[in-house]
């Protein structure tokens, strides 16, 4: 596969929507989140209520982990042959069309699905910081899903329940993209839509996330105080296509290390994902067939069609 990279994406002045969550007019906030999700499938939130100090500590423990020698990172390595995704994986190689990244992946909520053997013991404050950040992102996620439910004309809990309510899994991913001497040959993450409900992302100061809209790629500019929210496949399907699952990719930098910390809000494997029944009318027929999350992911992974 040859990577086609437009040369001048960063010249585009347009930015993804920015929603100020401190606005006291809740209806205005709700409408802004809904509009951004319909048109872009991605937006920044500012004044989101998550302490910047906590975000700073999250970035610190992530960076410290990836700075460890390979042998130490391998203490939490993804198990070869394991069907599950949790653990540390590295993919740093100069092959045309390949990805240039190493990452750490593990569940963070609910407590019953946490496997601490994939949580680094070094740096020592890793666990405490992630636990604190989990609580904050869960609140933010529920707030955003509440607005998106209202935008469907449904009670605030509708999408939270659609994603499985208390069984919804939160998954931490930390992506590390070291400087890449041959950035034209590689991508950090090839283009994809997230297979989950929503993603809540912070990054370091190096921009690199790009999204596809109206036939072109746009840079998602780094805003120090913002958190970026992506709509994934599960919300597209639950909303019967109203909210867009944004197509995105990450490019790498020749000189600077880029890092990102997405949290994925993900229905558990047994949850059936299809348009919420209340949305379906003669005028709005179902655009998707209900399917368990497990089957949906399996088919997407193998690139099989999903109705």
Ligand X SMILES: O=C(O)CCC(=O)C(=O)O
How many residues bind Fe ion (CB under 5 A)? The answer is 1
DSSP symbol at 140: H
- The angle at the Cα of 286, spanning 282 to 290, to the nearest 5 degrees, equals 145
Structure tokens at 253: 């930098």
Query: How many helices (H) and strands (E) in the chain?
Result: 7, 14
Q: How many CB atoms lie within 10 A of CB 34?
A: 19
In whole angstroms, what is the distance from residue 301 CA to residue 283 CA?
A: 33
Q: Using alpha carbons, select from 249, 264, 261 the residue that is nearest to residue 59.
A: 261
For the CB of residue 248, give the shortest distance to ligand X in the complex, in Å. 5
Nearest residue (CB) to Fe ion, 136 versus 194: 194
User: Using CB under 6 A, which of the segments 61-69, 70-78, 201-209, 292-300 binds ligand X?
Assistant: 201-209
Q: What is the residue whose two structure tokens read 């190689």? A: 93
User: Using CB under 6 A, which of the segments 126-134, 145-153, 160-168, 188-196 binds ligand X?
Assistant: 188-196
Nearest residue (CB) to ligand X, 37 versus 203: 203
**Stretch 144-183: interaction string toward Fe ion, x if CB under 5 A:** ----------------------------------------
> Does 173 interact with ligand X (rule: CB under 6 A)?
yes
- The residue within the footprint of ligand X, chosen from 34, 198, 209, 226 (CB under 6 A), is 209
> Does 194 interact with ligand X (rule: CB under 6 A)?
yes
**Stretch 248-267: interaction string toward ligand X, x if CB under 6 A:** x-x---------x-x-----
In whole angstroms, what is the distance from residue 269 CA to residue 83 CA?
A: 13
User: Using CB under 5 A, which of the segments 42-50, 169-177, 194-202, 253-261 binds Fe ion?
Assistant: 194-202
> Does 204 interact with ligand X (rule: CB under 6 A)?
no
Structure tokens at 293: 């999350």
For the CB of residue 203, give the shortest distance to ligand X in the complex, in Å. 5
Q: Using alpha carbons, select from 209, 200, 193, 175 the residue that is nearest to residue 263.
A: 200
> Does 194 interact with Fe ion (rule: CB under 5 A)?
yes
Helices (H), the chain: 26-39, 52-66, 70-73, 126-151, 158-162, 233-238, 293-301
Distance of CA 296 to the CA centre of its chain: 17
* Residue numbers at the binding site for ligand X (CB under 6 A): 173, 175, 188-189, 194, 201, 203, 209, 248, 250, 260, 262
């Amino acid at each position: 596969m040859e990577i086609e990279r437009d040369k001048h994406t960063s010249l585009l002045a347009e930015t993804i929507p920015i929603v100020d969550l401190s606005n006291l007019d809740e209806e205005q906030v709700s409408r802004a989140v809904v509009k951004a999700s319909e048109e872009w499938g991605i937006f920044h939130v500012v004044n989101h209520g998550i302490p910047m100090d906590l975000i700073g500590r999250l970035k610190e423990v992530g960076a410290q982990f990836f700075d460890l020698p390979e042998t130490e990172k391998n203490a939490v390595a993804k198990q070869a042959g394991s069907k599950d995704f949790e653990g540390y994986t590295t993919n740093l190689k100069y092959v045309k069309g390949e990805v240039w990244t190493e990452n750490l992946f593990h569940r963070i909520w609910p407590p019953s699905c946490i496997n601490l053997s994939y949580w680094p013991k070094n740096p020592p404050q890793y666990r405490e910081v992630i636990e604190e950040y989990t609580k904050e992102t869960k609140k933010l996620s529920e707030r955003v899903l509440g607005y998106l439910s209202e935008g469907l004309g449904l009670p605030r809990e509708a999408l939270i329940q659609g994603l499985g309510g208390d069984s919804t899994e939160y998954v931490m991913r930390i992506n590390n993209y070291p400087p890449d001497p041959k950035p034209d040959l590689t991508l950090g993450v090839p283009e994809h839509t997230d297979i989950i409900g929503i993603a809540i992302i912070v990054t370091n100061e190096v921009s690199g996330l790009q999204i596809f809209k109206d036939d072109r790629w746009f840079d998602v500019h780094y805003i120090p105080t913002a958190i970026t929210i992506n709509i994934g496949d599960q919300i597209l399907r639950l909303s019967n296509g109203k909210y867009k699952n944004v197509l995105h990719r990450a490019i790498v930098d020749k000189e600077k290390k880029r890092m990102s910390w997405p949290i994925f809000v993900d229905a558990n494997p047994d949850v059936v994902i299809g348009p919420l029944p209340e949305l379906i009318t003669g005028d709005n027929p179902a655009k998707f067939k209900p399917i368990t999350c497990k089957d949906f992911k399996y088919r997407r992974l193998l690139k099989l069609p999903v109705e």
